[in-house]
Structure 1
């Protein structure tokens, strides 16, 4: 089944100015705008972050809402799935791609978007012993 063409909510290395932005998104997007995902927290990973859905809906992850150019959508979806090591129904996936409501920062409009969140086993490890990024913003993390 082909997934619906939703925009993407990016919160780590795909954000403008981060290492994977130009390699994956440059020239393939119609819009990129600041947005946030409520009901999730952010953990530091090995060079990239993980959004973890928070029990009780607390927390906010800051990022960008990216709308792909229609002609690039399917190739971009495949490239991002590969980057995020996501394969549907694969228990070894680090992330799951889920459709969630995100809010545009400019006007708080809710938009349904694809979000790569930590897969359940990864999320459980992070909750137990991960390093939380208190601000929910990957760009404000402290090195080390």
Structure 2
């Protein structure tokens, strides 16, 4: 999917930290607003520990999480909430995370394109230099 088309797409979301089902931010951002939540993975990422939440960074690894598909009527609100939570503004110079399309692998072997929040470039560089990797790319099970 080209970047221009992706920026307008109503893609599902791949979540790997506090937005995963059962985690603290899922309840107020996603619970009751989804039509599908299923285990998934994204290859080509390394997960780093953060201050109470993880950061995904491009690398040689796999991150475990969930594919979340919002209800059509809730999509705009969910997108706004997640962008705010992840401190992401399209084109913003001070973003904590960047949002972009990624290929998500489901347990049945299928793949889907979904939005993924990854650490913004300045933070990603710091994490690669001195961050703590989450073993196995599965947070919180691999954290701490």
Structure-2-length-normalised TM-score: 0.93
Partner in structure 2 of residue 103 of structure 1? 105
CA distance in 2 between counterparts of 1:13 and 1:95 reads 14
CA distance in 2 between counterparts of 1:12 and 1:47 reads 9
**Structure 2 SS opposite 1:140:** coil
Displaced runs of 4 or more, over 2 A: none
**Structure 2 SS opposite 1:139:** coil
Partner in structure 1 of residue 44 of structure 2? 39
Map 1:1-144 → 2, pairs under 5 A = 3-54=8-59, 58-105=60-107, 107-143=108-144
Q: Are 2:135 and 2:143, in contact at CA under 8 Å, matched by a contact in 1?
A: no
Q: CA deviation at 1:141?
A: 3.0
CA distance in 2 between counterparts of 1:139 and 1:64 reads 13
Structure 1 unaligned segments of length 5 or more: list them: none
**Structure 2 SS opposite 1:101:** strand
Structure-1-length-normalised TM-score: 0.93
Structure 2 unaligned segments of length 5 or more: list them: none
Aligned-residue CA RMSD (Å): 1.2
CA distance in 2 between counterparts of 1:88 and 1:78 reads 11
CA distance in 2 between counterparts of 1:27 and 1:103 reads 24
CA distance in 2 between counterparts of 1:142 and 1:124 reads 20
- Partner deviation per Cα, 1:26-63 (whole Å, 9 max, x = no partner): 11000000000000010000111000011xxx200000
CA distance in 1 between counterparts of 2:131 and 2:43 reads 20
